[in-house]
Structure 1
């Protein structure tokens, strides 16, 4: 378990983390989201003692990180996959870490196989791709078979198979009763992996709830409707915050009225419906609404001519 109480970090006049309190519970995957510069990395660094809080405190499994006699057995962390000796092989890098905690070489071999590093275990880390470097960082985080695992952008640089592997790994660790705390900018992956979300913006916690609750709280009620008389349905539903968007000649997307109300109104006015599908907001939509006021840098919309030409999309 990770517990933060009144945690703050200031660099001169700049406040990176501003009096945050949260708990990351075992047995579930907790996602940590926020725009660039929101305080995610600083918070994670304070959890594992790489930065000292300006005020407040944070404990892992009941103690500050520095108070654990064998921290690798308590907390495994991937914060910077590049923080390795580039002239060492993956195997020797992990073996050196293991030696500091009396971890046997058999465990080194185990995490190498677990993370798919077997074919490159004896090669120098300096020649690794970004994805293989991430796998090595995850192997190091798992080396002490820790109760708590913290992963900052673990799928960065991984191919689709690797992304899926990290997803199953995180869920598997949580199913074993471990505490799993991870960040990612890939909303689709977070939606598939996390059970609970903590969202930070401008150094403050702006959401701390199960993922389903965050999506439902931020997303407006939307329903896809097919009818042979869309204009009449739009007319009878108009008002009281209800808006309609025509997607196809006989298909509407209605916002602000649930499916029961739409069906009842259509029945009362003898409008035939042949599809009525509630639409759930995506995690990305909910996240954008939550963090809209916390984004430090906003991108300008591309001109239509540029968009049509595919500029900025790698075309």
Structure 2
């Protein structure tokens, strides 16, 4: 379990983390989301004892990480996959880490097998691809068989098979009752992996809830309709609070009326429906709505460099 209480971190005049409180529970995958500069990396570094809080606390399994006699057996972390000695082989790197905690060679061989590094374990890390480096970082995180995992962008650089492997690994570890804290910018992957989300923006918690609850809270009723008589059905559905958007000759989207109401209006007008599909807001849409006022850099959508200049 990871617990933060009034956790804050200040760098000069900048308040990177602003008094956040949250709990990452065992037995589930908790996603950690936020725009660039939101305070995610700073929070993870404080959890691992790499940065000291300005105020407040963050504990892993009831203690600050430095208070554990064998930290590697308590929490495994992937924060920066390339922070390894490039002239060492993957096996030598893992053996060096294992020796600090009295972990045997058998466990090193086991995590090499788990992460699929068997064929490259004797190669120097400096020649590893980004994806291979990620697998090595995950192997190091698993080395102490910890109850808590902190994984920052674990699928970065991985191919589709590797992404699926990380997803199954995270969910499998959570199913064993472990705490899995996962940060990623890939919304589609987070939607398929996480059970619970913590969203941070400008150093403050914007949401802390099950993923289904976050989606439901931001999901206005939308329905996709396809018929050969769109104009007649759209006229029947027109009402205050209902928005109708024509998509093509036979398809339109309804916002503000549910599928049952649409079907009833179609039956009354004897309009044949070819499609009636309720649409749920995606995690990306929910996330963008949550963080729209908390991004560090705002861009002008559709702006073209040099537009407006005279030839």
TM-score (ref. length: structure 2): 0.94
- Structure-2 separation of matches of 1:242 and 1:108: 60
* Helix, strand or coil at the partner of 2:281: coil
CA-CA distance at 1:268 after TM superposition: 4.2
- Structure-2 separation of matches of 1:7 and 1:239: 49
CA-CA distance at 1:34 after TM superposition: 0.5
CA-CA distance at 1:85 after TM superposition: 1.0
CA-CA distance at 1:303 after TM superposition: 5.4
Q: Which runs of 5+ in 2 are unaligned?
A: 307-311
Corresponding residue for residue 68 of structure 1: 68
Corresponding residue for residue 96 of structure 2: 96
Residues 1:150 and 2:153 aligned together: no
CA-CA distance at 1:186 after TM superposition: 0.8
CA-CA distance at 1:261 after TM superposition: 2.2
Residues 1:37 and 2:15 aligned together: no
1:244-282 Cα deviation digits (max 9, x unpaired): 112222221111111122223334454443422111111
The answer (yes or no) to whether the contact 1:2–1:58 under 8 Å persists in 2 is yes
CA-CA distance at 1:75 after TM superposition: 0.2
Residues 1:167 and 2:173 aligned together: no
Residues 1:293 and 2:285 aligned together: no
After superposition, where does 1:1-315 map in structure 2 within 5 Å?
1-302=1-302
CA distance 1:254–1:8, shift in 2 (3 Å) = same
CA distance 1:242–1:296, shift in 2 (3 Å) = same
- Structure-2 separation of matches of 1:247 and 1:301: 21
CA distance 1:274–1:305, shift in 2 (3 Å) = farther
CA-CA distance at 1:304 after TM superposition: 8.1
Q: Which runs of 5+ in 1 are unaligned?
A: 307-315
**How many residue pairs get matched?**
306
Q: What value does the CA root-mean-square deviation take over the aligned residues?
A: 1.6
